[in-house]
């Protein structure tokens, strides 16, 4: 058997399956409990437009709703359990309540009084990082101490000290950072750290760059009360149980039964049943010599999960009913452990589309054989999308900085190549709207539309903090033509209506967000928006109008 033949055949394995719950005591029961109450200010006046946050620590669940007219709030379809509740709004917040015991099928009541002043609004920044505006005040020199010489010599091979001196993280995060750095050193054929050197580096970074303050989960919530569409939504956040250090969730997809699937950098795939909180975890078999890491996930109409491995250059086919995994090595000129096959897509007939090495290709998912190919204007497209009618392929730009977007008429082979000139808009991930246009999240802070009819690029910049404090990893249109995008560095999910130019901002439970992938569930009315957060959360946003 030749090496080429070996690359074109599936390896059949079985995923290690772990069943666990969002919380140690979760039970497979329908969510039929309710919490309701009234939000008031210090004088007893009802407050509409305030945030109400309910957290069930046992189940690793958090809910957020907005108080309505007369300050009333209702959170229904809850799993039974104990919840701590807090109200925040208008620059004030309530104390966190004592645990409220919510019985199955019953309604519990908890009023909230906004008597404590919110802490000052902090500048925008990455989690655990000094805000960009303040980085000029941070010394780039390393402090004295055991490990300084090692860190200065080995942690600056690929970048300078500015890359890490602005971060203040706990030990487990520095340990993960060093582990990931060592993997990249091996890929680049740079001498690896010894175990003793790795420990010394972690000790030094932990001692000198530990967290500066306790995290305040409300410090980035607006100080004004919400109005309009921003009042009418509910957010549900599932904390992803990290059974392996540095799982780093990357993508989300939803199957025909409404279950959320999450790919993770540690080489896992999790399936969450939102009705019960039960998570089934599948461990994708490791590829010898490759770093673990599932990347993009697509669930086909038959419920089969297709997952790429960016570092191993593999396409995995997982049958959830049997646990069987078929692994196909995708041909690539890039060496193993360097990124290659990642953001593929499937068309309506189940064929794989991918854009690398100066071409976009249509492949057989069972053999990896290239069936058709077309040239690209850039060397690659970071994402791939297929139109609703299956007639067009859409591509964004290169993975880092770029100015291109492209669209292919599959039948005729005609390619529409557009670019933004010297302006590096950097289209990242996205998809088609129902009208045949593609939308992409822009790393330069805008939503990017390839207007197919006009053959032009349109950019839409939201009325929030400008780049570099706002940028987008993805923008995803829904079946109605509205576009959804999670704000990096912030805590918002944006909703943009191109017909009216109206923006709505939905605040999320956590103070930072890193929306890697958005999935629109069009089976609900209104649509349900899922996104996976790189910081370890799966979030479901349910607009109510």
- pLDDT confidence of residue 469: 67
The DSSP bridge partners found for residue 415 are: 408
- Whether omega for the bond prior to residue 526 falls within 30 degrees of 0, making it cis, is yes
Domain with CATH 2.130.10.10 in the chain: 376-545
- pLDDT confidence of residue 18: 53
What is the C-alpha separation between 246 and 176, in angstroms, rounded? 6
Q: CB-based contacts of 172: which residues, under 8 Å, 6+ apart?
A: 245
* Angle, alpha carbons 206-211-213 (nearest 5°): 155
What is the C-alpha separation between 327 and 324, in angstroms, rounded? 10
The DSSP bridge partners found for residue 457 are: 450
The DSSP bridge partners found for residue 394 are: 385, 407
- pLDDT confidence of residue 352: 98
- Beta carbons of 250 and 311 less than 8 angstroms apart: no
Q: Looking at residue 401, what DSSP letter applies?
A: S
How many residues comprise the chain? 545
Q: Which residue has the tokens 């000094």?
A: 130
- pLDDT confidence of residue 124: 65
Q: What is the CATH number of domain 376-545?
A: 2.130.10.10
What is the C-alpha separation between 253 and 378, in angstroms, rounded? 28
- pLDDT confidence of residue 245: 46
- pLDDT confidence of residue 6: 32
Q: Which residue has the tokens 């409220």?
A: 100
The token duo for 279 is 């998570």
By C-alpha distance, which of 364, 431, 363 is closest to 392?
Answer: 431
Q: Is this model's pTM higher than 0.85 or not?
A: yes
- pLDDT confidence of residue 470: 76
- Phi first, then psi, for residue 182 (nearest 5°) are -65, -40
Q: Which residue has the tokens 């950098």?
A: 265
Which regions in the chain score pLDDT beneath 50?
1-9, 20-28, 244-245
Q: Which residue has the tokens 């359990």?
A: 81
């Amino acid at each position: 058997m030749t090496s080429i033949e070996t690359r074109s055949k599936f390896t059949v394995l079985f995923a290690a399956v772990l069943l666990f719950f969002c919380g140690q005591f979760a039970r497979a029961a329908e969510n039929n409990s309710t919490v309701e109450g009234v939000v008031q200010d210090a004088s007893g006046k009802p407050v509409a437009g305030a945030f109400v946050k309910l957290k069930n620590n046992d189940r690793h669940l958090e809910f957020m709703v907005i108080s309505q007219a007369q300050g009333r709030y209702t959170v229904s379809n809850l799993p039974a359990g104990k919840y701590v509740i807090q109200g925040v709004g208008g620059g004030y917040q309530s104390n966190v309540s004592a645990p409220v015991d919510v019985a199955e099928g019953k309604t519990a009541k908890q009023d909230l009084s906004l008597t404590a002043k919110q802490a000052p609004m902090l500048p925008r920044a990455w989690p655990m990082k000094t805000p960009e505006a303040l980085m000029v005040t941070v010394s780039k020199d390393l402090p004295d101490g055991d490990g300084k010489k090692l860190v200065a010599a080995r942690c600056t091979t690929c970048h300078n000290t500015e890359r890490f001196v602005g971060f203040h993280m706990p030990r487990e995060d520095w340990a993960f950072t060093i582990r990931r750095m060592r993997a990249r050193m091996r890929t680049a054929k740079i001498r690896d750290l010894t175990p003793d050197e790795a420990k010394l580096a972690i000790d030094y970074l932990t001692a000198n760059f530990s967290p500066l303050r306790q995290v305040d989960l409300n410090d980035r919530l607006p100080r004004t009360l919400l109005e309009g569409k921003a009042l009418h939504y509910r957010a549900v956040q599932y904390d992803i149980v990290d059974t392996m250090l540095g799982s780093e969730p990357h993508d989300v997809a939803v199957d025909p039964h409404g279950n959320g699937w999450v790919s993770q950098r540690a080489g896992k795939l999790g399936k969450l049943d939102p009705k019960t909180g039960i998570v089934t975890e599948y461990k994708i078999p490791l590829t010898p010599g490759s770093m673990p890491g599932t990347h993009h996930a697509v669930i086909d109409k038959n419920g089969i999960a297709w997952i790429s491995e960016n570092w191993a250059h593999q396409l995995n086919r997982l049958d959830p009913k049997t646990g069987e995994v078929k692994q196909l090595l995708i041909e690539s000129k890039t060496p193993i452990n360097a990124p290659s096959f990642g953001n593929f897509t499937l068309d309506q007939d189940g064929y794989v589309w991918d854009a690398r090495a100066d071409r976009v290709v249509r492949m057989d998912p069972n053999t990896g054989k290239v069936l058709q190919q077309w040239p690209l204007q850039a060397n690659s497209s970071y994402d791939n999308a297929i139109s609703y009618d299956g007639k067009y392929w859409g591509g964004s730009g290169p993975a880092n900085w770029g100015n291109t977007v492209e669209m292919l008429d599959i039948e005729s082979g005609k390619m529409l190549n557009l670019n933004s000139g010297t302006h590096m808009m950097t289209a990242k991930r996205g998809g088609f709207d129902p009208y045949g246009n593609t939308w992409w999240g822009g790393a330069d802070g805008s939503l990017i539309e390839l207007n197919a009819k006009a053959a032009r690029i349109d950019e839409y910049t939201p009325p929030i903090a400008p780049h570099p404090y706002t940028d987008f990893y993805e923008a995803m249109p829904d079946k109605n033509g509205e576009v959804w995008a999670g704000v990096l560095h912030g805590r918002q999910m944006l909703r943009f209506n191109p017909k009216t130019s109206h923006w709505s901002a939905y605040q999320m439970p956590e103070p930072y967000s890193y929306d890697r992938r958005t999935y629109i569930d069009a089976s609900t009315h209104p649509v349900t928006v899922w996104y996976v957060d790189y910081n370890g959360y799966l979030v479901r946003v349910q607009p109510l109008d």
